[in-house]
Amino acid sequence: MNTAPVLAYQNVGKRFGRTTALHGVSLEVAPGEVFGLLGPNGAGKTTLIRIGLDIVRADEGSVRLFGAPLSRAGLDRVSYLPEERGLYKKTKVRSMLAYLGELKGLGRRAARERAEAWLARVGLSHVATQNVETLSKGMSQKVQLAGALMTDPELVVLDEPFSGLDPINVELVKALIAERRAARRTTILSTHLMNQVEALCDRVGVVHRGALVVYGTLDDVRRRHAPRAARLRLQHGTLPDPLPPSLAAHIEAVSPDGIFQQLRLAPDSEAPAVLRALVDAGLPVAGFDERLATMEEIFLASVGASKDALAAAPAEAAQ
């Protein structure tokens, strides 16, 4: 099995005039994973994506795609759904999709067959002969998503793919991304929807002010930023008050929460050690789970922003 990175950035830097868009960014995207690329508007994520696709050239550092320097052959194995949408308004939907397939190397007949199949897959067969300009925003988004996926690319970059979609079609996009993971296809997902990051991504990177400030597997990142808390349920009763020394060494505070008790852990203790101490003390533990940070909490903490950063319009500032 090939374990070399599908896409690798090494110390990548980019300036636009006097503005530094990226500085010293190094990250790798592994085969078959869903990688979440996150950051507030204007952080540099779109510039990073464009450098990886050879749309923009880096000033420093290097990029390797499928283990080799950027090349036309490598880029033919990649599809891109940009945040800035662009379909020919006067073109019929079926013809638009077939054209996108031909651009990626499909023959005319194969492109038309794939176009028909993907229109059915995204529930748009009934608009195949309509002009693109007649479509709603959500329909147009699904056409472009189908165009990005119809050639079964080894790597696809999806920039805000949920934009304009209702909850039913959000679930459709999630299913398509999950299918790609099951098929060992690689997906880079850029989105402001942190709940979708938690549902879909294997690893994440957060870019802020041109630097990579968070990077790792989703579980490791959530654990690294955890608020040092856990939730406990005993089969009967509650923790003794005061705590015996064996527990007080691990638990700073206890507060009731229905049938649970919320525990604030001591600075030098970890959740597994707390659980062991509870069991060693002979307490009838019925449930115990560590409180992990949510991606929204991590995002806000890493960029030093308010919740407005998540609610802001997803269009990244032009860089």
The range of the structural domain enclosing residue 123 comes to 87-147
Average pLDDT of 173-187?
Answer: 97
Q: Are residues 38 and 137 in the same domain?
A: no
What is the reported pTM? 0.85
Average pLDDT of 155-162?
Answer: 95
Q: Are residues 71 and 2 in the same domain?
A: yes
Q: Are residues 31 and 136 in the same domain?
A: no
Please say which residue of 132, 147, 162 terminates a domain: 147
Q: Are residues 46 and 161 in the same domain?
A: yes
Q: Are residues 29 and 158 in the same domain?
A: yes
**pLDDT tens-digit series, residues 49-79:** 999 999 999 999 999 999 999 999 999 999 9
Residue 82 lies in a domain: no
Residue 140 lies in a domain: yes
For the cut 50, the answer to whether the pLDDT of residue 307 exceeds it is no
For the cut 80, the answer to whether the pLDDT of residue 158 exceeds it is yes
Q: Are residues 24 and 59 in the same domain?
A: yes
The structure tokens listed for 209 are 């002010």
Cα(123)–Cα(104) distance, rounded to whole angstroms? 23
pLDDT at 305: 52
More confident residue, 135 or 86: 135
Q: Are residues 60 and 3 in the same domain?
A: yes
Cα(253)–Cα(303) distance, rounded to whole angstroms? 29
Q: Are residues 297 and 182 in the same domain?
A: yes
Q: Are residues 135 and 278 in the same domain?
A: no
**pLDDT tens-digit series, residues 192-249:** 899 999 999 999 999 999 999 999 999 999 988 888 899 999 999 899 999 999 999 9
Please say which residue of 103, 123, 147 terminates a domain: 147
Residue 39 lies in a domain: yes
Cβ atoms of 43 and 122 closer than 8 Å: no
At 317, the pLDDT band (50, 70, 90 cuts) reads: very low
Structural domain tally of the chain? Answer: 3
Please say which residue of 107, 124, 147 terminates a domain: 147
CB atoms within 10 A of CB 107: 10
* Mean of all residue pLDDT scores within the chain: 91
Amino acid letter, residue 100: L
